[in-house]
Structures are given as structure tokens and as C-alpha cells.
Amino acid sequence: MPRHLAILPLALLLATACGDQPADDATPDSTGTAVATEPAPTVPRVMAIDVGRAIDEGGRIMGGGVETFPEADTIYVHLRTEHVSEGTALTVRLLEGDRTLESVDVTSGAPDAGMIGEATATLPAGATLRPGAYRVEVLLDGASQGIREITIAG
């Protein structure tokens, strides 16, 4: 048997034995194959917009967020942010169609160990709204972070 053919099974055996070991910076996936892990993205964002008629002493919506108000009332908006530094400006706008009825600037609170922060805005103009459809939009650095549709039932 030629010498180079005898080495082939030995090379395959070594490759198979070494292939089961993940690299130091890799995590094995469900098939046993090493997959390099990357850090999670740290893009600042508003991850939740809750709208309601009352807030507690911690600035959180009481009784759960709502989409329909039985009558016009002050609107409270509680925001949960991710990877947003303390003191970052957030803008909360109350819209009717494309028209801005009220715009309030708030600053983000100190994030916790998981980089989750909170902020609360009060929209007094909600108390003067006619029955109809409205929107609450949140901006971070001028970019829209989401819109919550609300209805004043009348």
C-alpha cells in the first residue's frame, strides 16, 4: 500500500477528534458545530409605549395601558427604553392626522443593569380632545420609535 494512502485514515481520525472541540470564542450549536458568538446589538431604542389615564408614584401606567378613552382626559405615556443613556431627550407627540396637537420633551431615566430605562410624559391636551382617532408618537434623536393609536369615545 502506498505510503500517502496509509496517512489518509490517520488524518481523518485526527480531524474528527479535533472537530468536536469548539473554539474558545465560539459556542456549539445544537448540531455540535462551533458557531462564533457576537455581542448583542446596542442600538438605543424605545421598546415599549404604554398609554393610560393615570400613573402611580413611580411614573407607571395604573390599571394597564388603554387604546380607548371613554371621554377626553389627560393622557399619560410611559416609555421603556433600551441602551438609552440617562438624560437622553425623548419627544412625545399627540397627533390628529398629520397635525401635532401637543409635543412634550422628557428625559430618559437611569438604565438598570440590563440597560433598560424608563420615562413618563404627561399630555394635558388630551383633556380637551373631541371624540375621534388620535396617535401618540415617540421620537428618539428625531427618529420615530413607534406610534400608539388611541380613540376618544366621547
Average pLDDT over residues 73-78: 95
Q: What percent of the chain has pLDDT over 70?
A: 73
Which pLDDT score is estimated for 63? Answer: 74
SS (H, E, C) the chain: CCHHHHHHHHHHHHHHHHHCCCCCCEEECCCCCEEECCCCCCCCEEEEEEEECCECCCCCECCCCCCEECCCCCEEEEEEEECCCCCCEEEEEEEECCEEEEEEEEECCCCCCCCEEEEEEEEHHHHHCCCEEEEEEEEECCEEEEEEEEEECC
pTM exceeds 0.75 for this model:
no
Give the chain's mean pLDDT: 84
Which pLDDT score is estimated for 44? Answer: 97
Q: Which of 11-15, 44-48, 150-154 has the lowest mean pLDDT?
A: 11-15
